[in-house]
Amino acid sequence: MKPCIIATALLLYSFSAFAQENVNRYSKHEIFVSYGFAPVGSLPEPEFPMGTPAGANTVYSTTGENKGGTINAGYLFHISRSLAIGLQYAYNTADRDIVIGSSTPLAHLENNCHIIMVTGKYEWLRLKRFTFYSRAGLGIMSLKKGNLELSDGHLASGISEGDLENQKSFAWQVMPVGVEWRFAGPLALFAEGGIGVTGCGMAGVKVRF
């Protein structure tokens, strides 16, 4: 992911150089990168086959779900001075334990999560250097086939990485309050608070042109 972050930062810099000459004009485009804290949302359960050595009607479930922070990038087009719509991409990792009922963990599963959402933004207060807004998004989370590590003593549990499949689920995000600070021409720092798959809090940098 580091090359992607560097490439996005360079893209932001090139756009800011272009936009510097137009800071007094109405900006219709914005590109942002950010980091999201404490993402919220349920992951789909991995679908392992029934009828394994653990029992003919074995049903697996997961526990101890732990998600990492999200790396985000997106584009917004302003259809009016206050209203914008666009796309957002987010990436993070998630890990959890696989159990049968209340058993001890049989295995540890780690997944890469890719999220694509249509996002909308409404600016409701503009000051000299600060803009306050709300934002929301809907989309899809793609859970890629994960890395499975069997726990000691459960090597014969009947599950393997070959049983894993890519999965998809609904993704959503609501940020009731966001604020951006235009600190250098078209460049702005921003922070948002809310709830959803990309985080309960988000902070980053954007360029408007």
Read off the pLDDT of residues 4-17 as tens digits, 9 standing for 90 and up. 555 555 555 555 55
Average pLDDT on 112-136 reads 96
Cα angle for residues 51, 56, 59 (degrees, 5° grid) = 75
Is residue 34 pLDDT above 90, yes or no? yes
What is the rounded CA–CA span in Å between residue 131 and residue 135?
Answer: 13
The full set of domain ranges for the chain reads: 2-208
Q: How confident is the model at residue 64 (pLDDT cuts 50, 70, 90)?
A: confident
Q: What is the average pLDDT across 98-121? A: 86
Instruction: Give me the CATH topology for the region 2-208.
Output: Porin (2.40.160)
The whole-number pLDDT of residue 166 equals: 81
Q: What pLDDT sits at residue 147?
A: 76
- Say what the pLDDT of residue 73 is: 98
Beta bridge partners of 148: 109
| Model pTM score | 0.78
Place of tokens 């009607």: 57
Confidence at residue 135, expressed as pLDDT on a 0 to 100 scale:
98
Check residue 96 and give its pLDDT: 84
Check pLDDT > 60 for residue 157. Answer: no
Q: Considering the chain, what percentage of its residues have pLDDT values greater than 70?
A: 74
pLDDT value of position 153:
55
Cα separation of 12 and 206, whole Å? 7
pLDDT band at residue 1 using 50, 70 and 90 as cut-offs: low
**DSSP strand E in the chain: where?**
29-37, 61-67, 70-78, 83-99, 107-126, 130-143, 147-150, 167-184, 187-196, 201-208
Residues belonging to the chain: 209
pLDDT digits (tens, 9 = 90+) for 180-199: 999 998 999 999 999 999 99
Alpha carbon distance 154, 147 (integer Å): 16
The pLDDT score that the predictor gives to residue 142 is 92
Cβ-based neighbours of 61, under 8 Å, separated by 6 or more:
45, 98, 99, 100, 101
**H, E, C per residue of 104-159:** CCCEEEEEEEEEEEEEEEEEEEECCCEEEEEEEEEEEEEECCCEEEECCCCCCCCC
Regarding predicted confidence, which is higher, 178 or 12? 178
Question: Averaged over 133-162, what is the pLDDT?
Answer: 75
